[in-house]
Copies of this chain bind each other. A is one copy, B any other.
Amino acid sequence: MAAPAPDIGSRSHAQSLDAADPLAPYREQFVHADEGLIYLLGNSLGRLPVASAKRVEQAVGAEWGERLIRGWNDGWLAAPGRIGDKLGALIGAGPGQVVVDDSTTVNLYKAMMAALALRPERTRIITDALNFPSDLYLLEGCVRTLGDRHEIVRLPSADGVTVDLQTLLAAIDERTALVTLSQVVFRSGFLHDAETITRRAREAGALTLWDMSHSVGVVPAALDDWGVDFAVGCTYKYLNGGPGSPAFLYVNAALPAETRSPVWGWFGHREPFRFDLDYRPSEGIDRFRAGSPAVLSLLALEPSVEMILEAGVEAIREKSLALTGCLIDLYDAKLAGAGYQLATPREPHRRGSQISLRHPEAFRIRRAVAEHHQLLIDFREPDTLRLGLAPLYTRFAEVWDAVEALVEVVASEAYLRYSGDRNGLT
């Protein structure tokens, strides 16, 4: 007997997608303290991998507690580079070019200052209005520190979702010192064409800095092949490193030897344990290290990076596109009619692993679905809901349930019971 044609709007269809999902077994490698919770915030804080909890327990008890100071030689000193190399394999970076240390913000700062110092005669910085605010604030601060000689060109977004590629390419010229963008935009999930933009920047002699916070681990990249100069990214989103886990910094080894962090710390010294009085930077990526890494937060990341390497970024991307595609189908079938507006590009090559929805009552809807349907999603002013789909643990059935919840709280007007006061922090 032939199976009936699937009804994409039915829960059983979603369940059949889960049944056929080769990555489905990975869900069991994460802690699910509350099986009823629909957690679509892997784009903000990834779930806790079972192996990470064990790794931290070991780092505390067997390493800090027992080995004490000897832990540094046992593996802590090497961890930023060791984990950096593993992470590099997720983004097309050969060994010795990635370090995991400090926050995304601090790494962005280091990269921006390093880049601007390499192009002292150029005075324009190209970015866009969809970039993460911290990235924009940092640029302002760098320009101030460097004597207000630079102009920050913040290209607008006509629709709040995308930035026109041709406008971007046309803005890059021989005055451009640096092009810095988020590969996937935090608000809309729009995926920039990093390869084409990087190529244009190289042609113009400009440097590139990609913020991969919302793409690392879910979108394949080829930083070395594309000729990217600098990249940074969070490790607590799709990389599941835990709250505030150290960020990564990629510095292309082909950059000149004088490429230098502005923060001349002892961990960036060629021989830190000689305690020389004068600075001699390390030759490799280590020269971008500053002080001691936050070891517990750092080691918590490693098991998840290994899990993602095992699963494969290509396979993860495939499921990611299936998940976001499923959500777009359900948007067309159900959400559009309930007053939601899709705020993520429909084309697979232009989206990351999240779907954004606009609704005039988004703030109250977010609260209502949390309380009535155990659905956690997030809200960004003034009217945007973000649904992050983490391929290693998000089920198609959860996407279906989330859509039902979003429809239900509008249809029942359940959201009207909640205040619109923004007294919370997020």
**A residues with CB within 8 A of B:** 31, 33-34, 37, 39, 41, 44-45, 47-48, 52-53, 56-57, 60-61, 63-66, 68-73, 76-77, 102-106, 109, 113, 129, 132-134, 136-138, 140-141, 145-147, 154, 187, 234, 236, 242-247, 260-269, 272-279, 290-298, 300, 376, 378, 380-381, 424-426
**Judging by beta carbons under 8 Å apart, are B48 and A69 in contact?**
no
Given contacts A245-B296, A294-B297, 16 further A-B contacts (CB under 8 A): A45-B72, A48-B60, A48-B64, A53-B61, A53-B65, A72-B426, A105-B290, A106-B291, A129-B277, A137-B264, A137-B265, A137-B268, A138-B265, A236-B292, A244-B293, A244-B298
Please give, as numbers and ranges, the residues of chain B lying within 8 Å of A424 by CB-CB distance: 73
A103 near B105 with CB under 8 A, answer no
List residues of chain B with CB within 8 A of the CB of A105: 263, 265-267, 290-292
State how many angstroms separate the Cβ of A408 from the closest Cβ of chain B. 22
Q: Are A72 and B296 in contact (CB under 8 A)?
A: no
Contact B141 A279 (CB under 8 A): yes
A264-B140, A292-B236, A297-B295 known; A243+B103 contact, CB < 8 A: no
24 A-B pairs whose Cβ atoms sit less than 8 Å apart in the complex: A31-B61, A34-B66, A45-B69, A47-B65, A53-B60, A53-B61, A56-B60, A69-B378, A70-B376, A72-B243, A72-B425, A73-B425, A73-B426, A132-B266, A134-B265, A134-B266, A137-B268, A140-B264, A140-B279, A141-B260, A187-B275, A244-B291, A274-B381, A296-B296
Q: Which 9 A-B pairs have the closest CB atoms?
A: A105-B291, A103-B291, A141-B264, A105-B265, A243-B295, A134-B266, A294-B297, A294-B294, A137-B279
| Complex Cα gap A68–B33 (Å) | 10
Chain B: minimal CB distance from A236 (Å): 7
Chain B residues with CB below 8 A from A247, complex form:
291
- With beta carbons under 8 angstroms apart, the residue of B48, B57, B104, B106 that contacts A57 is B57
Q: Which residue of B lies closest to A53 (CB)?
A: B60
Which residue of chain B has its CB nearest to the CB of A59?
B243
Minimum distance in angstroms from A17 CB to a CB of chain B: 24
Contact A278 B140 (CB under 8 A): yes
User: Are B68 and A47 interface neighbours, CB within 8 A?
Assistant: yes
Q: How many Å from the CB of A61 to the closest CB on chain B?
A: 6
Task: Indicate which residue in B60, B68, B245, B295 contacts A41 across the interface (CB closer than 8 Å).
Answer: B68
- State A69–B376 Cα separation when bound (angstroms): 9
A44 touches B69 (CB 8 A): yes
